[in-house]
């Protein structure tokens, strides 16, 4: 019989009012690469309780031999409905940029999952692309299949 012990650490950085999440990190080892995932906005789920997106990302990055992933968002405002992003307060969103830059710069690979609608959130996507350009890191779009997250085939 073999016993396997594995710990998973999570770190989240929220605003004082708990309405904005700037950074989410999940680590299960410290030796292999770190992925950074850029999504549109965080959900309302509790930090300790993983939503479907975080669960799918965890499974995907374990399968891809990463030991850590970081999630940052175009918008830090926590909502289950992207149409509510207009309620976001700019003073809180300005804090988001520094976490976004730090997460992208400190990762080995960047995955983009902010959606494929090219007509929505154009300014925020353009700002993110400006941050990513000087990093000269490889970035891949995440494509969602029912119940899973997968990177594009090469």
- 71, HSE (Cβ side, Cα atoms, 13 Å): 28
Is a pLDDT exceeding 70 seen at residue 141? yes
Based on the structure, what is the number of domains in the chain? 1
**In contact, 76 and 93? CB cutoff 8 Å:** yes
Percent of residues, the chain, with pLDDT higher than 70: 91
Residue 1 lies in a domain: no
User: What's the pLDDT score for residue 123?
Assistant: 87
Classify residue 4: in a domain, yes or no.
no
- Residue 67 confidence (pLDDT): 94
Whether 141 contacts 113, CB under 8 Å = yes
At residue 2, the 3 state secondary structure works out as coil
* Mean pLDDT within 102-107: 93
Domain-embedded: residue 141? yes
Q: Looking at the domain assignment, is residue 120 inside a domain?
A: no
Residue 143, pLDDT score: 61
Query: Which pLDDT does position 113 carry in this prediction?
Result: 87
User: Does a structural domain hold residue 121?
Assistant: no
Q: Is pLDDT above 50 for 8?
A: yes
Q: For residue 139, what are the domain limits?
A: 9-113+126-150
Secondary structure element (H or E) that encloses residue 27, with its range: strand 21-27
Instruction: Tell me how far apart the alpha carbons of residues 47 and 22 are, in angstroms, rounded to a whole number.
Output: 12
More confident residue, 145 or 51: 51
Structural domain includes residue 135: yes
Q: 104 in a domain, yes or no? A: yes
Q: pTM score, two decimals?
A: 0.85
- The model's pLDDT over 30-80, given as tens digits with 9 standing for 90+, comes to 888 999 999 999 998 767 777 888 899 999 999 999 999 999 999 999 999
């Amino acid at each position: 019989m073999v016993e396997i012990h594995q710990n998973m650490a999570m770190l989240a950085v929220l605003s004082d009012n708990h309405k904005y999440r700037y950074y989410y990190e999940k680590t299960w080892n410290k030796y292999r690469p770190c992925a950074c995932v850029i999504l549109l906005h965080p959900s309302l789920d509790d930090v300790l309780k993983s939503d479907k997106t975080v669960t799918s990302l965890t499974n995907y990055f374990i399968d891809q031999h990463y030991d850590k992933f970081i999630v940052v968002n175009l918008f830090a405002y926590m909502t289950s409905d992207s149409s509510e992003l207009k309620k976001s307060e700019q003073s809180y969103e300005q804090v988001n940029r520094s976490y976004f830059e730090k997460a992208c710069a400190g990762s080995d690979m960047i995955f983009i999952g902010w959606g494929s609608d090219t007509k929505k959130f154009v300014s925020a996507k353009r700002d993110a692309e400006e941050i990513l350009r000087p990093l000269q890191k490889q970035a891949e779009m995440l494509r969602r299949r029912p119940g899973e997250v997968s990177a594009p085939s090469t």
